[in-house]
Amino acid sequence: MDDDAARPPSRRGALFRLGLALNGVAAALILTPVVRYFIAPGRRKATRSDHAWVTLGPIAQFPEGETRLASFKNPFRRPWDGATADIPCWVRRIAKEKFQVFAINCAHLGCPVRWFPQSELFLCPCHGGAYYADGSLAAGPPPRGLFEYRYRTDNGALAILAGRLPTLAESA
Amino acid sequence: MGTLRAIGAWIDRRLQLAAPIREMALHRVPRSTASWFYVFGSVTFVLFLLQVVTGICLAFAYVPSASEAWSSLQALNHEVPAGWFLRAMHFWGSTFMVGVLLVHVVQVFLFGAFKFPRELTWVFGVVLLLLTLGMAFTGQVLRFDQDAYWGIGIGASIMGRVPLVGAQLVHLLLGGPIIAGDTLSHFFALHVFIVPGLLLAFAGLHIWMVLKLGINEWPMPGRLVTRERYLEQYEELTRKDGVPFVPDAFQRDLTAAGVAVLAVIVCAAWLGPSGPSGPPDPTIVQAVPKPDFFFLWLYAALSLLPPNLETPLLLTAPVIVLLLLFLLPFLSGFGEKSWRRRPVSVLAVLLVAVSFAALTRLGETMPWSPHMEAWSANPIPARALAARSPLERQGALVLQNKQCRSCHALGGTGGQRGPALDDVATRLTHDQLIRQVLQGGGNMPAYAKNLSPPEVTALVAFLETLRREGHSPARDPAQRELRLDSAEPSSPPHR
């Protein structure tokens, strides 16, 4: 006796559809957190703001009229970040309380720019982008001047608002 | 022998794989395809399998943590027995895989293999090409050194040019707002699980289709592909002038795969692993980041494009290239297969190959990068200083101290971003030199704020001496007229 043929087709179809539906629900329940997990870094206000004030040290270590290399700890560092938690930047002290803090990253493709006090230029090793002492574009392929951090001085220390990689999409 | 055969038969009665394998091995292919031109696909696949094996070996020692990855690579290079060799095999394996894959793409393109009914085989092949380049890029990041750190920064900076969602894309690529531990973890998962999984799946489908549809026959000029007749013609060809895949065609695949793997072994043993370069410490700003060779052409293009075209091209060119690659079999799916009657295709391949080679060569020499040590490391040639006045020699000092040589060569050393200065005095007059130094222009910074008037006077005096023997200095015709006028105020203007 052919058991399958004897059953009413509608009932078999219903069970098949029930099976599909159950698995569909399960897939959705799995996919929702998985997708959220994967796009989390791309969502702006997902878990934390990507900006925080960090100190670059006492103002006294930046002589007036000079541009010096400084570095800070990424405010959102994790224990396994290693050396990548230390981010460099260029600090130009124009006057007593007047500063410019430039991101290390060239506005062209993010390579580390180097300051040359003799010619008073920032030069990029990658494609030869050049910037003047005030960060404005001097020559080469970058589409804009250097990225600048917002800064403030409190209790004789210089602090900047930092935490993300400056790109053309969002500056420092 | 009889016992072995019996055991084999016992197993296969349960496994049932002998028959399909025999059928696959003995399926008939056109005699013309038992050719050395047809080995590149299978060699690429063998190299991929080699990458899987060496990659798994490396995973035993590699630590995918931003703080430890670099030192675990050092340990692999110097402490783990044969660790350096496995790293070298993985690096050279990837280099050969990309290289052989490109040859395969060109061969398939020139032989018209993408035409009916193999359109989908080509489309999956393009996916495989992209996945392979993805493996190359993510692998370069796992070698978590200075180049990797700034290389991801370059990737992020390109992403940041995408309108509207640029910031989100940057964060997705980096696994957070900045290059850090999460970045490496993301790239590890991509390089070790996701991309190779996709590669394996698509390669399986790609090879399945080659088996089911039959390998593309050797194209004959004038034998056109038509929807009505092609399948029939192909079937007739394999029946009348076919050979079994094993051994007639397979022996060449086998030999070529052996040669390729041996070449990887020789390169690995002889040339060793690649890097790691300096530690991934961004505070070491004396870095000169440079990508692996498959991306040098892009690196060079990014320097040579006019700045205002850069973002539009970065955003549209990949889309156009991908569309062309994916749509190729649908735009040109029938008709002539032979490269002998497809001049545009041959020219396109030549154009791409020449551009690729030229850009890669430029990417290796990087003539646009400033030579940052030239000002203190490269002396002024003695002949340029012989019999010079004190003012001119002072000018040579200004040239050196103001780091002009970062971008300008003199006597064959120094940067090449700007023109060499050996014969600048034959090209620019006194006034033009002053203007160029003070105002810059033509991709040179202006030095007006940075040079005192005496320094400019000295520098220009020195520059005016820089010309080859027997070459006369640049002259300004208008200046000469003026001088003549002032010397002979009474003489009438010469008409």
B153 CB neighbours in chain A (<8 A) are: 105, 109-111, 165
Confidence of residue B490 (pLDDT cuts 50, 70, 90): very low
Mean local confidence (pLDDT), B419-427: 91
Full 3-state SS string of chain A: CCHHHHCCHHHHHHHHHHHHHHHHHHHHHHHHHHHHHHHHHHCCCCCCCCCEEEEEEEHHHCCCCCEEEEEEECCCCCHHHHHHHEEEEEEEECCCCCEEEEECECCCCCCECEEECCCCEEECCCCCCEEECCCCEEECCCCCCCCEECEEEECCEEEEEECCCCCCCCCC
User: Which contiguous run of DSSP H or E holds residue B48?
Assistant: helix B40-59
Quote the CA–CA distance of B154 and B142 in Å, as a whole number: 15
Selecting from B174, B369, B404 the residue whose C-beta is nearest the C-beta of A128 gives B369
Residue that the structure tokens 């990837």 belong to: B94
Selecting from A85, A88, A118 the residue whose C-beta is nearest the C-beta of B403 gives A118
User: Which contiguous run of DSSP H or E holds residue B30?
Assistant: strand B28-30
- Residue B28 contacts A where some CB pair is shorter than 8 Å: no
The helix-helix angle for B390-401 and B453-463 (nearest 10°) equals 100
Burial class (CB in 10 A: 0-12, 13-18, 19+), B37: middle
Task: Calculate the average pLDDT of chain B.
Answer: 91
Name the nearest CA neighbour of A157 among A85, A32, A84, A56.
A56
Distance from CA of B56 to the nearest CA of A (A): 23
pLDDT for the residue B485: 60
Partner-chain contact A82 B303, CB within 8 Å: no
Is residue A116 pLDDT above 70, yes or no?
yes
pLDDT for the residue B238: 93
pLDDT digit string (tens) for A89-110? Answer: 999 999 988 999 999 999 999 9
Mean local confidence (pLDDT), A115-121: 93
Distance from CA of A106 to the nearest CA of B (A): 9
pLDDT digit string (tens) for B38-71? Answer: 999 999 999 999 999 999 999 999 999 999 999 9
A111 CB neighbours in chain B (<8 A) are: 150, 153-154, 287, 289
pLDDT for the residue A7: 58
pLDDT digit string (tens) for B395-411? Answer: 999 999 999 999 999 98
Distance from CA of B277 to the nearest CA of A (A): 15
Quote the CA–CA distance of B236 and B230 in Å, as a whole number: 10
Percentage, residues of chain B above pLDDT 70: 97
Q: How many CB atoms lie within 10 A of CB B420?
A: 16
Confidence of residue A1 (pLDDT cuts 50, 70, 90): very low
Burial class (CB in 10 A: 0-12, 13-18, 19+), A1: exposed
pLDDT digit string (tens) for B225-242? Answer: 999 999 999 999 999 999
Residue that the structure tokens 């050194």 belong to: B145
Name the nearest CA neighbour of B343 among B466, B221, B198.
B221
Mean local confidence (pLDDT), B246-263: 96
pLDDT for the residue B474: 86
- Residue A129 contacts B where some CB pair is shorter than 8 Å: no
Tell me the C-alpha to C-alpha distance, in Å, between residue B228 and each of A62, B233, B234. Answer: 80, 10, 12
Percentage, residues of chain A above pLDDT 70: 91
- Enter the pTM of the model: 0.90
Confidence of residue B442 (pLDDT cuts 50, 70, 90): confident
Is residue B388 pLDDT above 80, yes or no?
yes
Determine the residue of chain A that is closest to B283 in CA distance: A88
Partner-chain contact A138 B440, CB within 8 Å: yes
- Residue B279 contacts A where some CB pair is shorter than 8 Å: yes
Q: Which of residues 70-89 of A touch B (CB under 8 A)?
A: 71, 74, 76-88
Partner-chain contact A104 B282, CB within 8 Å: yes
Give the CA radius of gyration of chain A. Answer: 28
pLDDT for the residue A5: 55
Is residue B489 pLDDT above 90, yes or no?
no
Quote the CA–CA distance of B203 and B215 in Å, as a whole number: 15
Mean local confidence (pLDDT), B245-251: 92
B302 CB neighbours in chain A (<8 A) are: 108-109, 127, 141
Is residue B492 pLDDT above 70, yes or no?
no
Determine the residue of chain A that is closest to B370 in CA distance: A128
Selecting from B172, B406, B407 the residue whose C-beta is nearest the C-beta of A39 gives B172
Quote the CA–CA distance of B458 and B395 in Å, as a whole number: 4
pLDDT digit string (tens) for A24-35? Answer: 999 999 999 999
Is residue B491 pLDDT above 50, yes or no?
no
Quote the CA–CA distance of A115 and B172 in Å, as a whole number: 31
CA angle B276, B279, B285 (to 5 degrees): 120
A52 CB neighbours in chain B (<8 A) are: none
> Which residues does residue A67 pair with via DSSP β-bridges, in sequence order?
A92
Is residue B385 pLDDT above 60, yes or no?
yes
CA angle B73, A166, B359 (to 5 degrees): 65
- Residue A44 contacts B where some CB pair is shorter than 8 Å: yes
Distance from CA of B291 to the nearest CA of A (A): 10
The DSSP secondary structure of B303-356, one letter per residue, reads: HHS-HHHHHHHHHHHHHHHHHHHHHHHHHS-SB---GGG-HHHHHHHHHHHHHH
Q: Which of residues 83-122 of B touch A (CB under 8 A)?
A: none
Is residue B292 pLDDT above 60, yes or no?
yes
Mutate to test the interface with B, among A111, A116, A124 (most CBs of B within 10 A): A111
A127 CB neighbours in chain B (<8 A) are: 302-303, 368-369
Tell me the C-alpha to C-alpha distance, in Å, between residue B330 and each of A7, B207, B412. Answer: 47, 21, 53
Q: What is the ipTM of this complex?
A: 0.89
Distance from CA of B444 to the nearest CA of A (A): 6
Tell me the C-alpha to C-alpha distance, in Å, between residue A55 and each of A64, A162, A170, B194, B460. Answer: 18, 10, 21, 39, 45
The DSSP secondary structure of B415-438, one letter per residue, reads: --SS--STTHHHHS-HHHHHHHHH
Quote the CA–CA distance of A142 and B74 in Å, as a whole number: 35
pLDDT digit string (tens) for B138-184? Answer: 999 999 999 999 999 999 999 999 988 888 899 999 988 899 999 99
pLDDT digit string (tens) for B338-383? Answer: 999 999 999 999 999 999 999 999 998 888 888 988 899 999 988 8
